[in-house]
């Protein structure tokens, strides 16, 4: 069964015809796996804070009050929570769309989110039994791909259409108010 292929698309591909026996068996397995996916979703929900705290400790955070987080750590924690929640939602639905709709920008890369995601994966996978690790396994590469720097996905850059000339001198205070 390919959990990463959304069912509406698979059904639409049939163009009004019945599902093939293989697709029907996949759909049955998918439906029967819902309790397992729901259990894992709830584990992700319950353990989110502890897992993120472990990753933040690898980034210099010492356990204590939340107010002790510096702004960059707080932002990284928010981004990790968003990633973990998107991962859980994709798992629950059996659809990678929640993961694919989010893009990682320069700010997230500057905060070290790609590395933190790898650390989060290690923490999460290390605290789950093998069968639950297997349920999450196809979704981690999708999540990593969102933030992976790639040459074909360049950061937007400012392009000037003005000719290259020297900038005019800045106005003095007297010139500004006259």
Domain that holds residue 55: 33-147
* Residue 176 placed within a domain: no
CATH code for position 128: 1.10.490.20
Enter the tokens of residue 89: 């939602």
* Residue 85 placed within a domain: yes
* Residue 123 placed within a domain: yes
Residues 6+ apart with CB under 8 A from 76: 56, 59, 111, 112, 113, 116
* Residue 41 placed within a domain: yes
* Number of domains observed in the structure of the chain: 1
What number of CA atoms fall less than 13 Å from residue 12's CA on the CB side? 5
* Residue 153 placed within a domain: no
pLDDT (tens digit per residue) in 5-41: 667 777 777 777 888 888 888 888 888 989 999 999 9
pLDDT (tens digit per residue) in 96-140: 888 877 767 666 776 788 888 899 999 999 999 999 999 999 889
* Residue 17 placed within a domain: no
Q: Tell me the chain's radius of gyration from C-alpha atoms.
A: 23
- Provide the whole-model pTM: 0.70
- Considering only residues 104 and 3, tell me which one the structure prediction assigns the higher pLDDT: 104
């Amino acid at each position: 069964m390919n959990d990463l292929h959304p069912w509406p698309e698979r059904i639409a591909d049939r163009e009004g015809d019945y599902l093939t026996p293989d697709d029907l068996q996949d759909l049955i397995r998918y439906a029967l796996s819902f309790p397992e996916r729901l259990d894992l979703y709830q584990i992700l929900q319950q353990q989110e804070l502890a897992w993120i705290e472990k990753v933040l400790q690898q980034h210099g955070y010492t356990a204590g009050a939340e107010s002790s987080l510096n702004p960059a750590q707080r932002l990284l924690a928010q981004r990790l929570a968003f990633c973990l929640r998107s991962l859980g939602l994709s798992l629950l639905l059996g659809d990678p769309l929640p993961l694919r709709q989010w893009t990682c920008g320069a700010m997230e890369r500057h905060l070290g989110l790609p590395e933190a995601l790898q650390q989060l994966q290690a923490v999460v996978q290390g605290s789950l039994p093998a069968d639950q690790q297997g349920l999450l396994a196809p979704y981690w590469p999708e999540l990593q791909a969102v933030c992976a720097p790639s040459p074909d996905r360049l950061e937007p850059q400012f392009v000037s259409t003005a000719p290259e000339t020297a900038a005019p001198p800045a106005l003095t205070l007297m010139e500004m108010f006259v």
